[in-house]
Amino acid sequence: MLGASRSLTVAEETLHIGIDDTDSKDGMCTTYVGAVLFDVLRSLGVRMLDHPYLVRLNPNCPYKTRGNAAVALHVKLGRERIGDVKKRVLALVERLYERGYGDTQPGVAFILGEVAGELAGFAERAVREIVSLDEALELAASSGVELHGINGGRGRIGALAAASYRMDEYTFEAIAYRVPENWGTVRRIDAESVRAMDEATRGETFDNIDPETGEIRIAPHTPCPVLAGVRAVSAEAALRGLKMVRFNEPVERVVVFKTNQATDRHLVECSVAELRPNMSAVISGVVCSTPYTIPGGHTFIRIRDASGEIICAAYEPTREFRNIVRSLMPGDRVRAMGGVKMKPEGLTLNMEKLEILTLAEHYVMRPPPCPGCGRRMKSAGRDEGYRCKRCGERLPKSAAERKPLERKIKPGVYEVPPSARRHLTRPLLLNRI
């Protein structure tokens, strides 16, 4: 009897798996490791609690590879299988990670059961600022999280963050992967089908095509296993969009990720005095310089709030966005959003978006008409007021005619083009859907 009742109560546990830093600038992709693992575990009958997560961590991280992406899988399984699943995860990471690069330092995290609030707080910080490996190790030890590191294991930071990341704001990306023999070769994607897909799914998918250049944006330019990825507001739309793209090469697998891409979750509202290098911030303030452009085409402006002053940059790759910045004038009230970097000139906010709240009134001054003959007077010299050449009338400087300057920009939110945008930055288009 005892044996029978025991077999009826199969204890199931929730396991959160995080993986980071398996790629290098020259190959592999942590999302691929996540995709393979997702398929492997599913084929073993492990129950998936959600889509795999693609978690973008702090985009200003100095030692990040490309997009600073980590992945997480959330599974439910019988207690007796946990050991075997962990072993398979570690073996897969060992097999797939990009070897021969000292700077690839994979990390794997296993969290059993509920994710404690302290862990979620850590994950949130890993998206917004720089967190240290020591901090990750301490937190893991105190919360009973199992961390594994390979080759130095700096990826344990991202692995812990990904496994504990609370995905309460998200979008989706359906990613198609290439068969290994094609990695590193030119991707064969029918551009026309991408344009047709973009049109057919508009309002649901985003960033398929650069609106300024017409360039296809669903495929990376790196030799990694990703063939193409379609970003969308729903899993269904992401997959439908991807299926509309014609690939002239085999697709190894397709996985739909739930992701914090396009959520603005990296941005922290703060004052100038609170800014630190490598964080992402939203600064509300007043423009306190005229915009200036340096050789190379980078445009700068200074913004002040009650606590201090910061240089805000629109670099050359932000293209047309610079024209917005160049149209700003002292006194304009703005919200500048972007990554903070320490530059020789001082802390600089690399703008991703710019909201113009109010435009300052500026005037063009011109000489008044002559009270005697009605003709326009001439300046009598610096601070000398005005004089009429014809009748000799004089008027003080304060008599000048003030005409409001017509501003070339309007209040509103402006963004950099998709090619210069961070994965985490929410495209303005999504706010209109």
| Contact residues: Zn ion, CB under 5 A | 370, 372-373, 388, 390-391
Provide the minimum distance between the beta carbon of 367 and Zn ion in the complex, in angstroms, as a whole number: 11
Please give the Cα distance from 340 to 283 (Å, whole number).
11
By the 8 A CB rule, do 59 and 423 touch? yes
**DSSP code per residue over 17-72:** EEEE---BTTB--HHHHHHHHHHHHHHTTPEESSSPEEEE--TT-TT--SS-EEEE
DSSP-derived letter for residue 342 is E
- In the complex, the smallest distance separating the C-beta of residue 365 from Zn ion, rounded to whole angstroms, is 19
CB 375 to Zn ion: min, Å: 6
Residue where the block lists tokens 């993986």: 19
Q: Which is nearer to Zn ion, 83 or 381 (CB)?
A: 381
d(CA 358, CA 360): 6
Q: Rank residues 81 and 375 by Cβ distance to Zn ion and give the closer one.
A: 375
Q: Return the structure tokens found at 41.
A: 């575990």
Nearer to Zn ion, 87 or 390 (CB): 390
Nearest approach in angstroms of CB 372 to Zn ion is 4
* CB of residue 392 to Zn ion, shortest distance in Å: 8
Of the CA atoms within 13 Å of residue 286, those in its CB half-sphere come to: 8
User: Exposed e or buried b for every residue in 148-172, given b needs 16+ CB within 10 A?
Assistant: bbbbebbbbbbbbbbbbbebeebbb
Q: Closer CB to Zn ion, residue 42 or residue 389? A: 389
Cα dist from 88 to 21, 47, 84, 85, 108, whole Å = 18, 15, 6, 5, 12
Amino acid code (one letter) for 16: H
Shorter beta-carbon distance to Zn ion: residue 303 or 370:
370
Q: Which is nearer to Zn ion, 25 or 390 (CB)?
A: 390
349: Cα separation from own chain's centroid: 14
Name which of 330 and 368 has its Cβ closer to Zn ion. 368
| Minimum distance from residue 382 beta carbon to Zn ion (Å) | 21
Minimum distance between the CB of residue 380 and Zn ion, rounded to whole angstroms? 13
CB of 393 to Zn ion, least distance (A): 5
State the residue for tokens 């084929």.
43
Q: Which of 208, 200, 199, 267 is nearest to 232 (CA)?
A: 208
Nearer to Zn ion, 110 or 386 (CB): 386
